[in-house]
Amino acid sequence: MRISERIRSMRTQCLWLLVIAIILASNAGSAYAQLSPGATFAAQLARQYRVMPDIVYQTASNFESKLDVYQFIDAPSPRQTLIYFHGGGWTQGAKEASSLMFSPYLEAGWNVINVEYRVARVAPAPAAVEDGLCALRWTIHNAKNYNIDASRIVLSGNSAGGHLALTTGMIPASAGLDRICPGPEELKVAAIVNWYGITDVADLLDGPNMKNYAMTWLGSMENRKEIAKRVSPLTYVRAGLPPIITIQANGDPTVPYSHSVRLHEALDKAGVPNQLVTVQGNTHGNYKLSEYPRIYAEIEGFLGKHNLWTAAKP
């Protein structure tokens, strides 16, 4: 069964069900008979995964940045792995709040790494971008420990997390934004799934598209325009980037839809495989339930076209 056909029921599952199911799974058997269909789904999923929460992947600004690893149990070979970044305008949010966004990948048998990063109250830009690169380095460095196929890592995130997925997969070593976590690993990914991420940070600092969350992230730094350019995905568009699929509503009030359009056009010009999936409406995420089958069908098709969905089924 395709993701697009499963997503209707999966979107109704909550992270707390999965957590409860992990506990129940250790005593399985008769426990299933007492669970609702949603909890049964979660319990069955929990039996397939080993969840390792709050692993510290780096320390900076007197803050321990953590991630959760969802490792598929007893896989015969290294797994495709999704690295996910939560949203919140770089100023708020928590990794636990975005778990439903990657549940289709769990159901399909992927490993998932759910990333926390430094938000503005801990450290201003470019801290969150640095953390994204460090999380990727940690993942590649520890690939063997968690049965990760380092050649099939896909990045994703929503809103500010979409921006971080883009910067993590697009920023070259020459930008020097990975220096707080140096290492020999080549920071390379197989694809990026961008949910309404910011692509031009400077555009949000002044003029008609000015946003408070961007102002908070950049603060009153004298060189904020320079930093904004340094952390903008559009700055790094070039040939040879991984395939990128973007999903956004054309009336998004929080991140201008033009950011996705400009990225799509720039990637086309550079010859980078990409796709823009447009949702009708004035909403920042929170799409109608009826939209998700189409969106996930597009994601699955896009990744499948690049041989990133095959051979990952449980």
Tens digit of each residue's pLDDT, the chain (314 residues): 455 444 434 433 434 344 434 433 434 444 444 556 556 666 767 778 999 999 999 999 999 999 999 999 988 899 999 999 999 999 999 999 888 889 899 989 999 999 999 999 999 999 999 999 999 999 999 999 999 999 999 999 999 999 999 999 999 999 999 999 999 999 999 999 999 999 999 999 999 999 999 999 998 888 999 999 999 999 999 999 999 999 999 999 999 999 999 999 999 999 999 999 999 999 999 999 999 999 999 999 999 999 998 644 44
Structure tokens at 100: 């439903």
pLDDT of residue 80: 95
pLDDT of residue 99: 84
Q: Residue 314 and residue 159: Cα distance in Å, rounded? A: 30
Domains and CATH numbers, the chain: 1-47 (no CATH), 50-305 (3.40.50.1820)
Beta strand segments in the chain, E = 49-60, 63-72, 79-85, 111-115, 148-158, 191-195, 244-249, 274-279
In this structure, are residues 165 and 89 in contact, taking their beta carbons and an 8 Å threshold? Answer: no
pLDDT of residue 255: 98
CB atoms within 10 A of CB 122: 15
Question: How does strand 49-60 pair with strand 63-72?
Answer: antiparallel
What one-character DSSP code corresponds to residue 98?
Answer: G
Q: 136-165 burial by CB neighbour count: b if 16+ within 10 A, else e?
A: bbbbbeebeebbbbbebbbbbbbbbbbbbb
Backbone angles phi, psi at 159, to 5 degrees: 60, -120
pLDDT of residue 48: 86
How distant, in Å, are the alpha carbons of 34, 101, 103, 199, 285 from that of 20? Answer: 13, 19, 16, 38, 27
Which residues touch 311 (CB under 8 Å, ≥6 apart)?
80
Backbone angles phi, psi at 127, to 5 degrees: -55, -45
Structure tokens at 126: 């470019």
Residue 115, SS3? Answer: strand
Among candidate residues 293, 254, 259, 252, the one with its CA nearest the CA of residue 276 = 259
Backbone angles phi, psi at 251, to 5 degrees: -120, 25
pTM: 0.88
